[in-house]
Structures are given as structure tokens and as C-alpha cells.
Amino acid sequence: MFSFRGCGGRVAASFTKQQFPLPRLSSDSAASRTPHFDVIVIGGGHAGTEAATAAARCGSRTLLLTHRVDTIGQMSCNPSFGGIGKGHLMREVDALDGLCSRICDQSGVHYKVLNRCKGPAVWGLRAQIDRKLYKQNMQKEILSTPLLTVQEGAVEDLILTEPEPEHTGKCRVSGVVLVDGSTVYSESVILTTGTFLRGMIVIGLEMHPAGRLGDQPSIGLAQTLEKLGFVVGRLKTGTPPRIAKESINFSILNKQTPDNPSLPFSFMNETVWIKPEDQLPCYLTHTSPRVDEIVLKNLHLNSHVKETIRGPRYCPSIESKVLRFPNRQHQVWLEPEGMDSDLIYPQGLSMTLPAELQEKMITCIRGLEKAKVIQPGKEDHRGLSYSHCYGVQYDYLDPRQITPSLETHLVQRLFFAGQINGTTGYEEAAAQGVIAGINASLRVNRKPPFVVSRTEGYIGVLIDDLTTLGTSEPYRMFTSRVEFRLSLRPDNADSRLTLRGYKEAGCVSQQRYERAHWMKSSLEEGISVLKSIEFSSSKWKNLIPEASISTSRSLPVRALDVLKYEEVDMDSLAKAVPEPLKKYTKCRELAERLKIEATYESVLFHQLQEIKEVQRDEALQLPKDLDYLTVRDVSLSHEVREKLHFSRPQTIGAASRIPGVTPAAIINLLRFVKTTQQRQATDQYLHDTDRLQEREL
């Protein structure tokens, strides 16, 4: 065994792949005397907590290594979860028995569904979260999870061994080296390092090494990954200042109240922990021309904006917005940080100007004329320390270097999840975490990987985008990225993923499985019953006068078609036809989901045909050990060969989504796959025939 500990300085150049000779492999007799786990997860953020608990739920003895146990569950940026596209991810994480949705249902202070003006396929479940409650509830869950050990420690290096011959990769990870020199061995390792890989905090022209305010960056591990040959890039993000609540004039601002009733994130919860009338409001204000003036006059004092490192396109700093969209008013949402917090989070005011200019800019915004920014080093009454806003610059690894199971191509049994793959957001991190945890555990048990395709979930779209397209800026999930969003809705994530998670991965509890199975069966039965009930349009009009049903229709009308009318729901249908429909109104969620299924029935039929076409392409597997640079049996240009060699797609469908891989190349690959499959089938037939003849002799 060997590690890269003490192998020299950093190799510079963003997105440059460097080749380094591997040290000679040698045995390590100390392995039997050191701690050994099935799975080690590095990092206790949103990806790490989901990964660790997912691996443990799958039955693996798991170690979660984090700098500080008291930061597990910390919301380092905005005090909210969900939103358009992101809410879908949370529902899917919950369908796989992940944590974040259940914890949000226990910790929110303002629940609202976004995009209500559109169809339920693109509704975005969102909640403002009490930071303190979320951290408490998450830590309680993590520290009580069976088979999960939590330990404080910083990882300096990886322990590597000879590769498994039946899998691709130059070597295999078998543990980690901590900063104090101690070693911990494992069968799989998951890196969820967030912004800690060579992290640097920026305020104005000042720069300080840190992965997060108050936490040291991870330098040695970043160097190890680079020396292994991983392509390393650099990204940045930021956070706004926190404002004292009592210094804001809320009376002149646009008030937003929570939904009544509040819709929970988790399929296991019928309600959230707090009544709508007890929840906190949010307020909307806008920037002024004076804000633009301050930004433009002081760009020379802001190295974070001047850098060529890419920041988040869809959650940009106020400086980036002013430069990209001049002479506009920009929204600023004033969001509560908790039930008993005196702090307000100004969503939309991420910036890295010097502290005195931050304060000056804040007072140029309507309602914030007398606002006070919490000073660095000061604490609120709960003992939590805040500062002016700051930017963070950090390393990430090109995600085209991982498979759809999130295992790396270069190092066997090493998995990446979260911001290390170039994503931004708690929800994107959690989604990757649960998949990495499941697959790290399955890898230990030598079982097939659990892969979610683009046709099965937003998680599949997220991972497929990363592994085939890569990213040069922080990746954020949107509904617009999803081709089959009418099928991949927030309401049906359990039907799509829970049953698979239970049967294929073992990551879902018996209770959740039984509930999802009951819901799926009830929906199928309910739809069948609704299709079987037919009356004339005039009779339906008499039964449900409020429905805008045309009485000129000559053919009988199904109850399922009547349910499609906006004015009709299961309650009104059940009043019109008590038997057999009344029983479907006893469960509110079932009644609502029947309404949604009816709404999309006709379009779903056509979309299902499209999904089947995509699945046919996805079923055509490319050989995992195919050397695209040297293979002679397929006609490919040098450029296409290089792209395929770097991304290593596992299916024809994935190969077709790689930029620069031409339709002609896909046709040639398709021919190659079919020819290979036919050759293998022939070889197998001849082999079986020979064995049969030997037995007869």
C-alpha cells in the first residue's frame, strides 16, 4: 500500500491534467492493527451527511470524518431549502430515504410552493429554515444512525493499492491518512469536500486560506488528487451580509406569507412541525441606482469579481448582476434566519466588497436605510458568530472523470459528491450524496451500481449532465434541464424511486417501502375505477353544475376526464358518485395525486413513448474497458476519440449527449456495439455447444 503524503508542492494551472509516476506499491502489515470500515465519508456537509447515512442504511459500517462535529448540519449560505427544480431533488432524496426533507419538515419557519401559477409538474417546494433547529435535528439524526461512526479529523492523503483487474482504473483506494499521521482503512471512500479543497476566503482585496469562515482548507488532499492525474478546476461562490432585524423598516416592503396549508417535503409526513399562522413572513425589496454606482466605482477594490474564476450564473453576486445587467433593479428577499434569531438574510446581495462599502451599499436599498450589518466577531444571543459577507474560491474536479454511480474512472472505489463535482446548492449536494453512499456500499458488496437515468429522475439529469457535459461554472438544477418533466414530478418521486431503492439498493426502510407500495397500488386502482365510470355529458353537468362541461358531446364521458376540469376535484366527484369514489378522498395526498394523474393523462401517454425510445439507447451498453484511442473496429475521428476517452460514457445514449461527438460517430459506435454483442452471443453459443457435446461423450 502507499500514499501520496509528502510528495511535493502544488502543480499549478487550472484545468490542466498532469501525469505523475505512482510510488512503488508495497504491503502494509499495520493494516490489520488499524481501524477498518466498509465506507469512509470525508466531509460533514449536505453531501457528506446524506452519503454517510445512505451507506449505513445499506448495511455498511461507515465512518464520517469531519473537521468539527458541531458543524454537521450547518447551513453555510442561505437559510432555505428547495425551490424550482431543487424541490424535485429533495423529493427524490426523500424517496430514497434521505435526510434533508424530513429535517426540513422539522425545522422550517416559512413553507411555500413556488410556480403555483403553472402546472404541478414544475411546482417548486421551498422553505425558509431555522439554522439552529436544522443543525440540532440533523446532528441528532446523524449521531443516532446505526452502523455510522462520526469522528473529528482532517484527511491529508489517500491510501492506495493495486487495482482490481476486472475494473478500470490505475489503482484502488483502501483508506485515508489523517493530518496527525494516523491511518484508517476502508473498502470504499467518498469525498464530499465542499469548498475546502485549497479554499480561499476573499473580502475586498484581502484573501485568507479557509474552506469556510473559521475552518482550515484541505491542501494535502487537493495535491494528492492532482498528482493522481485528476483534472482540477477552480470555482467561486459567496454569501451576503447578515442584517439586524430591528434595524429594518418592514412596513414599507412587500410582505410574503407562507402557504396555508403548508406542504411537507417528505412523503412520510402529512404536515410540517409548525402551523401556518405561527410561521414567519419574508419581505421583498429592490436595489437602487445608487447600488450600481457603488459597485462600478469600487471594482478596483474587489479581487473576487476581477478574477477569471467562474462564479454561479444563477445565484450571482450583486457585483456580477450590476456588470451583466446594468441599469436594472434587482430583487432582494429579506429572509428570517430562525424563530428566535435577530438576523435577516438578504437573499440576492452576495458580495465581496470591503466591509465599509458593504454597509454603505446596504443603506441604499429601500427599507434598509438604517440597517445595521452584524460586525465581524460579534455573536447573536445564541452564541453564533457572523461577519460581513465574503467570497470563497476553491478547487473542483471535472465531473466527466466520474461514472453515473459517482465512482471515479482513475481510482477504483473512490467516489465524489457535492461541490467537488462543480455543483452549487444544498439540494444538488444532497442528491449526489445519497447516490454516492448507496453505490459505495454496493461496491463493497460487489453488487451492480444503482444508477438513476434521465428518464427516471432529476437526480439522473443532474448526474448525466455532469458526467457527459462537465461544467465550467457552478451547476444548478432547473426544471428546464429536464426533458421529461411532465413524468418526473414532485408528487410521484416515491413511485419512481422508492421501490427501486428498496429492492436494488436496500437503502429504504420497510415502513417507507410499504407506504410507497400502498400509494402506487391505490393510484393504479383509483385510475382504473375513474376510467370505468361513464355518464353522458348532460348527466355529469347535472351532477357537478360548477364544472364547465359541454353538454353537446355525444359519447359517454369518463370520470377521469371530468376530473381534468379545473373546477373538479376528488371531493366533488365523490359527492356526485359516492360509490365507489368516496374511499379515495379519505387520504388527502391520494386524492390530490389522482387529480394530477388525470390532468396529465393524455400528454403522459405520448411522453412515455419518447421515454421508451431513450431507454432503448440507454440499454445499449458500451464496454467499460474500451480503449477509444486505439480501438480499430470503429471509425472515429481523433477529436471524438479524445472526448470519449475522457468522459468514458457507459451507454450509447450518454455518448450521444457529449458535445462534439457527431451523429456519424454515434452511428459507427452503434454498429460496433451491435457487432460486438452478436460476436459475444455467437461465442457463447459455440462455448455452450462444445460443453454439451463433451457431456454427451
- Within 10 angstroms of residue 246's Cβ, the number of other Cβ atoms is 10
What is the predicted pLDDT for the residue at 388?
Answer: 57
Assigned C-alpha cell, 618: 440507454
The CATH fold of domain 36-238+393-498: FAD/NAD(P)-binding domain (3.50.50)
pLDDT surpasses 60 at 17: no
* Domain residue spans of the chain: 36-238+393-498, 242-375, 523-618, 620-696
- Mean of all residue pLDDT scores within the chain: 88
What is the mean pLDDT of the segment spanning 51-71?
97
Contacts 24+ apart (CB under 8 A), 547-554: 547/572
Dist CA 234 CA 223 (whole Å): 14
Q: Are 58 and 34 in contact (CB under 8 A)?
A: no
pLDDT at 6: 36
Res 45 pLDDT > 80: yes
Strands 155-161 and 2-3: antiparallel
pLDDT digits (tens, 9 = 90+) for 557-576: 999 999 999 999 999 999 99
- CA distances 670 to 469, 623, 640, Å, are 20, 12, 14
Closest CA to 433 of 83, 142, 191, 199: 191
- Buried b / exposed e over 179-205, threshold 16 CB at 10 Å, is eeeebbbbbbbbbbbbbbbbbbbbbbe
Q: What is the pLDDT of residue 16?
A: 33
pLDDT of residue 626: 85
343-347 sheet: strands from edge to edge: 243-244, 343-347, 331-336, 282-286, 254-256
Q: For the domain 242-375, what is the CATH code?
A: 2.40.30.260
**Arithmetic mean of pLDDT, 58-87:** 95
Q: Let me know: does 460 contact 466? Beta carbons within 8 Å.
A: no
C-alpha to C-alpha distance for 291 and 362, rounded to whole angstroms = 8
Domains 36-238+393-498 and 523-618 share a fold: no
Instruction: Note the pLDDT of residue 22.
Output: 37
Q: So what CATH class is 620-696? A: mainly alpha
The helix or strand, by DSSP H or E, that contains position 675, with its residue range, turns out to be helix 663-696
Nearest Cα to 452, choosing from 83, 38, 88, 49?
Answer: 88
What CA–CA distance (Å, rounded) separates 203 from 468?
A: 35
Residue 689: exposed, middle, or buried by beta-carbon count in 10 A (0-12, 13-18, 19+)?
exposed
The amino acid occupying position 188 is: S
Domain 523-618 class, CATH top level? mainly alpha
Residues 6+ apart with CB under 8 A from 480: 85
DSSP 365-409: STT-TT--BPPTT-B-TTS-B--S--EEEEEEE-GGGB-TTSBBS
Percent of the chain with pLDDT over 90: 66
Q: What is the pTM of this model?
A: 0.88
pLDDT in tens, 230-258: 999 999 888 888 999 999 999 999 999 99
The alpha carbon dihedral of 107, 241, 425, 147 has a sign of negative
Report the length, in residues, of the chain.
697
Note the pLDDT tens digit of each residue in 470-493.
998 999 999 999 999 999 999 999
In this prediction, residue 673 carries a pLDDT of 79
Lowest mean pLDDT among 429-433, 440-444, 672-676: 672-676
Integer angstrom CA distances of residue 538 from 490, 544, 562: 35, 10, 12
- Nearest CA to 397 out of 228, 591, 171 is that of 228
